[in-house]
Amino acid sequence: MDVNKPIKTLEGHSDGVLSVSFSPCGKFLVSGSEDNTIKLWSVPDGINTNTIAAHDGNVHCVLCSPDCATIISASWDKTVKIWKIADCSLERALEGHDAGVNCVLAAEKGAVLVSASDDTTAKIWDGKDGALKTTLKPVLGDVKAAAISPNARLLALGGSELKVFSFPDGELLKDNSDYIYGVRGLAFSPDGSKLAAALGMEKKLQLWKINAVEVDLEGDIQDSDWINCAVFTPDSKHLLTGGGTIKKWDLTTGLAAAVFEGHSDEIYSVAISPDGKLIASASNDGTIKLWNNTVHA
């Protein structure tokens, strides 16, 4: 198994970094932190180009809109906010959750947003005007993780259980409650054939096979480390996970092909650039690190 060191460390947040995401255009990186801010970083040089005093609580999740025009953030302050990238001004705040918001997703080219919260609900919003369209009550406790399939027909929600719904109508398709600590992270593969569930302190990665609206358990990958998050490579052949280190899993063999070491504390979020060449990781050590993925692509 190859061991890799970071090619760049991005410093500037004053507290743990909870989320990191590449822009779809691949030109910049956005991060959210326990210091309540969002930072924008140029890629690949890692220069901090802007900082937004974004929320009144931890920024749990950040992502860029598909058109690279806005940043969408979710926070412990119970809100989702949309920011204009051009001048970092607030475009809109989405209010309605009764507890911290753990994640936010964009679907249908940004026309639809989905937020998941510790208030036990997931909300579906109009991405253009911010109107609340639907509130889902999946009955799995705090909703800690969410993912939408590439064709926007499936919504996976994780907490004490994993539930997969048809989207946007919300019909329950699969329910799995066989967990010790619950689901910490979810990701669909870009080709839509798999769903990965990161099971945190259970030190396990669970893979589900997707066929249209059929969702079947494919198998588990047991690790020696906790797994907080997961993201597929653009070719859907490998899966990156974050915990104490980043690991790159070969989905054909179920073995770790590479490990990326360098953070001094827990890794909360891992992202991969649209071209698959760079990996970014966000950690409780207050840093973001960039890694070269090309030797393992």
| pLDDT, tens only, 143-156 | 999 999 999 999 99
Pick the CATH number of 2-296 from 3.40.50.720, 3.40.50.970, 2.130.10.10, 1.10.150.170: 2.130.10.10
pLDDT tens digits, one per residue of 243-256: 999 999 999 999 99
Q: State the pLDDT at residue 297.
A: 53
User: How does pLDDT run across 30-82, given as a tens digit for each residue?
Assistant: 999 999 999 999 999 999 999 999 999 999 999 999 999 999 999 999 999 99
Say what the pLDDT of residue 294 is. 79
Strand partners, 28: 42
Domain ranges of the chain: 2-296
Neighbours of 295 (CB within 10 A): 8
> What b/e sequence results for 194-232 when a residue is b if at least 16 CB atoms lie within 10 Å of its CB, and e otherwise?
bbbbbbbebbbbbbbebeeeebeeeeebebebbbbbbbb
Distance CA 107, CA 127 (A): 9
Average pLDDT over residues 114-123: 98
* CA–CA separation, 21 and 48 (whole Å): 14
Residue 227 is given by DSSP the state: B
Q: What is the pLDDT of residues 221-245, one digit of tens each?
A: 999 999 999 999 999 999 999 999 9
